[in-house]
Amino acid sequence: MPDDLLFAGVHGQAEAVASGAVSAADLTDAVLARIAEVDPRLNAFTVVLSEEARAEAAARDASLAAGERPGPLHGVPVAIKEENVVAGTVTTFGGRANHRVAEADGLVAQRLREAGAIVVGKTNMPEFGQFPFTESVRFGNTLNPWDLGRTPGGSSGGTAAAVASGMVAAGIGGDGGGSIRIPSACCGLFGLKATRGRVSSAPAADLWCALGVVGPLTRTVLDSALVYDAIRGNGPGDRYTVADPEIPFAESARLSAATSQRTLRIAWSTKSPSKGQRPDREHVRAVEETATLLEGLGHKVFEVDPRYPEATVAFLPQMFRGVREEADEMDEPKLLELRTRQALVAGRWATPKVRDWAINEGERIRAKVDERVFAQADVLLTPTITKRPNPVPVLGRAPQPLALLKSMPMVAYTAIWNVTGHPAAAVPSGFGPDGLPTSVQLVARHGDEATLFALSAQLESVRPWADRRPPL
Catalytic site residues? 81, 155, 179
Continuous segment of H or E residues that includes residue 247: none
Q: For residue 47, give the 3-state DSSP assignment.
A: strand
| Residue 19, preceding peptide bond in cis (omega within 30° of 0) | no
Q: Interhelix angle for 281-296 vs 449-462, to 10°?
A: 90
Burial of 123 (0-12, 13-18, 19+ CB in 10 A): buried
Q: What is the DSSP string of 66-129?
A: TTPPPPTTTT-EEEEETTS--TTSB--TTSSS--PBPSS--HHHHHHHHTT-EEEEEE--SGGG
**Cβ-Cβ contacts under 8 Å for 273 (sequence gap 6 or more):** 306, 308, 311, 412, 413, 415, 416
Asked if 377 contacts 266 with a C-beta cutoff of 8 angstroms, the reply is yes
Asked if 240 contacts 197 with a C-beta cutoff of 8 angstroms, the reply is yes
Asked if 249 contacts 285 with a C-beta cutoff of 8 angstroms, the reply is no
CA separation for the pair 320, 340 (Å, rounded): 10
Burial of 327 (0-12, 13-18, 19+ CB in 10 A): buried
CA separation for the pair 345, 340 (Å, rounded): 9
Asked if 85 contacts 91 with a C-beta cutoff of 8 angstroms, the reply is yes
